[in-house]
Amino acid sequence: MYLMASTRCGISAKQLERELGVTYKTAWRIAHEIRHNLMAQDDEAFDGHAPIEIDEAYMGGRRKGRAGNRMGRPSPDSHKTAVLGMVQRGGKVIALTVESVQTTTLMPRIIERVMPASTVYTDELKTYRNLKKAGYDHHRINHSEKIYVSGDVHTNTIEGFWSLTKRGIGGVYHAVSKKHLQDYLSEYAWRYNRRNDPESLFETLLLRAALR
């Protein structure tokens, strides 16, 4: 727990194997249990006191020679996994794997976590058009027109989280299966949500372990 809490971008099972003097299988299982049980995200909704940015992303590989569209979204037969991110400015982030970015998939996740009448910023994905109908104060930024900031309207915070997470997974873990991706997202969200008090990470893990 100390080793996983004291690294900024995570620690691989191979490194844990070397540090702890155990087999790779044991090191992987230890890390998995910590991620899955102690770094899991809670079910708390955002309080709505600050704007919330929402953005979808895609993680994983793709078939050679296949390209996504101009918005960076993969083709239907790619190997990428869709993920949904929500962050309250100045607050916490929630990162979830999703089956698709269709309305029937994303809207229930958003409604569950974002209080009605909250101010919400997104890009121009068609799914988000339903946010205003659902009672949110919804503003869109048109990335397809090379517009990334318009006054207070932008999704730079959540995109920054995605960038950090992708670099971390690519640099430390190299590849993550769809089956376990949620646990890795939870690990990076867990660190991000405690970014203002990094010294407490180890103590937080110990407390969670003690309360289980």
What are the domain boundaries of the chain? 2-42+180-211, 52-160
Each residue's pLDDT tens digit, 91-121: 999 999 999 999 999 999 999 999 999 999 9
CA distances 131 to 51, 54, 122, 168, 207, Å, are 14, 11, 10, 31, 38
Tell me which of 76 and 140 has the higher pLDDT. Answer: 140
Which of 29-33, 75-79, 104-108 comes out lowest in average pLDDT? 75-79
Q: What pLDDT shows up at residue 73? A: 63
3-class SS of residue 197: coil
The proportion of the chain whose per-residue pLDDT surpasses 70, expressed as a percent, equals 92
Across-strand partners of 199?
none
Separation of alpha carbons 136 and 9, rounded Å: 34
Using the structure block, give the residue that is written with the tokens 């940015």: 53
Across-strand partners of 59?
81
Residue 69 has pLDDT above 80, yes or no: no
Helix (H) / strand (E) containing 189:
helix 178-192
Each residue's pLDDT tens digit, 49-64: 999 999 999 998 654 5
Query: For residues 180 and 81, is the Cβ–Cβ distance under 8 A?
Result: no
CA 53 to chain centroid: 12
Mean pLDDT of 24-51: 95
Query: For residues 63 and 100, is the Cβ–Cβ distance under 8 A?
Result: no
Mean pLDDT of 62-83: 62
Residue 183 has pLDDT above 90, yes or no: yes
Q: Six-digit token pair at 192?
A: 């991000």
How would DSSP label each residue in 104-164? HHHHHHHHHHB-TT-EEEE-S-GGGGHHHHTT-EEEE--GGGT---BTTB--HHHHHHHHH
The CATH number corresponding to 52-160 among 3.30.420, 2.70.98, 2.60.40, 1.20.120 equals: 3.30.420
Residue 70 has pLDDT above 80, yes or no: no
Q: How deeply is 44 buried, as exposed, middle or buried, from its count of CB atoms within 10 A (0-12, 13-18, 19+)? A: exposed
Q: Six-digit token pair at 51?
A: 């704007």
Query: For residues 133 and 141, is the Cβ–Cβ distance under 8 A?
Result: no
3-class SS of residue 78: coil
Separation of alpha carbons 123 and 121, rounded Å: 7
pTM beyond 0.85, yes or no: yes
Residue 31 has pLDDT above 70, yes or no: yes
Average pLDDT, the chain: 91
Each residue's pLDDT tens digit, 4-17: 999 888 999 999 99
Sign of the Cα pseudo-torsion (114, 88, 163, 73, in order): positive
